[in-house]
């Protein structure tokens, strides 16, 4: 693959049901990312009873159409099967994680070229080191990140290995804290010689958040690059805010937010490419929420 890539998160059911969508994916994308079906709770709802059928649908399309795949994601606190959570709580053993990573990475060896090995390890609010409280940290402390990356590297030595994180774009208190703790984590991982190739910056933009400051964001990207890590924008999309505006104005605002981000990102040599979280609005995970409805009761 030359230059930088564009791709999108996809769902197996949409690929099977919607030929226009399938054609659009092949036309627009160089990389596909499974939105749901490679997450641990989806793959292994019961111990040892793995369902890779849905991921195979996506892998087949990628294979036929010569597209690349990013494996999303091996470890995410929001997708731990109940049985695994119980086991990890009971004996703090690595075995369930080991066999999950081994089965998943091995199955798509040579097909998935990059892995979101750990998703969303940061939570800036509870602990002084900014690591997310949860079952992985409780059982193994920060070493769970080291172990997962080392295991992934061993199984897939040629794959690009990432840590993926959200909430890093804006110059507000929460994002500032998350950026700080994320960079500290990356520094520690690099210092410990953990096999990490790059970071995934999810980039779920939100129009009620702000401000977005180009110089602040550019500095953050450069700090990542200075650690020798590559950068991928992994889940780009825009959550709207004011639904009373005309469709044109709303589209304009979303486009402006994306343009502001991309104008910084494209100047960073460490950028590999961008995947958006879905290709079309029809299938976006970002619907109108109950709080949107309450905020603008007359908008619909």
- Which parts of this chain interact with ligand XIL (CB under 6 A)? 35-36, 119, 166, 202, 235, 285
Q: Cβ 192 to ligand XIL, closest distance in Å?
A: 24
Distance (Å, whole) CA 284 – CA 224? 29
Q: Cβ 207 to ligand XIL, closest distance in Å?
A: 17
Q: Cβ 198 to ligand XIL, closest distance in Å?
A: 16
Reported for 51-57, long-range contacts at CB under 8 A and 24+ positions apart, including other chains, are 52/107, 54/12, 54/13, 55/12, 55/108, 57/12, 57/15, 57/16
Q: Cβ 75 to ligand XIL, closest distance in Å?
A: 11
With respect to ligand XIL, which residue has the nearer C-beta, 40 or 140? 40
Q: What is the DSSP string of 177-214?
A: HHHHHHHHHHHHHHHTT----EEEE--EEETTS----H
With respect to ligand XIL, which residue has the nearer C-beta, 202 or 232? 202
With respect to ligand XIL, which residue has the nearer C-beta, 74 or 221? 74
With respect to ligand XIL, which residue has the nearer C-beta, 247 or 290? 290
CB 234 within 8 A of CB 70: yes
Tokens of 224: 């990542």
> What is the number of other CB atoms lying within 10 angstroms of the CB of residue 181?
21
CB 198 within 8 A of CB 231: yes
CB 96 within 8 A of CB 86: no
Reduced to 3 states, what is the DSSP secondary structure of residue 226? helix
- Which residue of the chain is nearest ligand XIL when measured via CB? 285
With respect to ligand XIL, which residue has the nearer C-beta, 35 or 114? 35
With respect to ligand XIL, which residue has the nearer C-beta, 94 or 285? 285
The DSSP 8-state label assigned to residue 133 in this structure reads: P
With respect to ligand XIL, which residue has the nearer C-beta, 48 or 199? 199
Q: Phi then psi for 281, rounded to 5 degrees?
A: -55, -35
Q: Cβ 96 to ligand XIL, closest distance in Å?
A: 20
Tokens of 241: 């805010």
Alpha-carbon torsion (150, 155, 156, 162), positive or negative: negative
């Amino acid at each position: 693959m030359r230059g930088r890539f564009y791709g999108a998160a996809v769902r197996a059911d949409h690929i099977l049901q919607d030929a226009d969508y399938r054609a659009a994916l092949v036309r627009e994308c160089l990389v596909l990312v499974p939105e749901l079906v490679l997450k641990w709770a989806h793959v292994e709802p019961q111990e040892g009873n793995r369902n890779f059928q849905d991921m195979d649908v996506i892998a087949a399309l990628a294979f036929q159409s010569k597209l690349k795949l990013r494996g999303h994601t091996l470890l995410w606190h929001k997708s731990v099967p109940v049985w695994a959570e119980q086991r990890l709580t009971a004996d703090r053993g690595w075995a369930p994680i080991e066999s999950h990573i081994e089965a998943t990475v091995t199955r798509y060896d040579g097909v998935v070229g990059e892995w979101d090995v750990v998703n969303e390890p940061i939570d800036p609010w509870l602990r002084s080191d900014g690591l997310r409280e949860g079952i992985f940290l409780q059982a193994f402390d920060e070493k769970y990140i080291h172990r997962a990356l080392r295991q992934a590297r061993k199984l897939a030595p040629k794959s690009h290995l990432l840590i993926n994180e959200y909430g890093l774009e804006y110059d507000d208190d929460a994002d500032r804290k998350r950026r700080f703790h994320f960079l500290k984590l990356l520094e520690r991982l690099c210092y410990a010689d953990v096999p990490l190739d790059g970071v995934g910056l999810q980039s779920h933009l939100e129009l009620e958040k702000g401000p977005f400051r180009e110089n602040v964001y550019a500095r953050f990207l450069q700090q990542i690059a200075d650690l020798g890590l590559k950068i991928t924008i992994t889940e780009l999309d825009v959550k709207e805010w004011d639904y009373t505006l005309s469709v044109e104005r709303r589209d304009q605002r979303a486009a402006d937010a994306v343009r502001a981000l991309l104008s910084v990102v494209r100047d960073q040599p460490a950028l590999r490419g961008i995947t958006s979280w879905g290709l079309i609005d029809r299938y976006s995970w970002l619907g109108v929420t109950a709080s949107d409805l309450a905020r603008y009761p007359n908008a619909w």
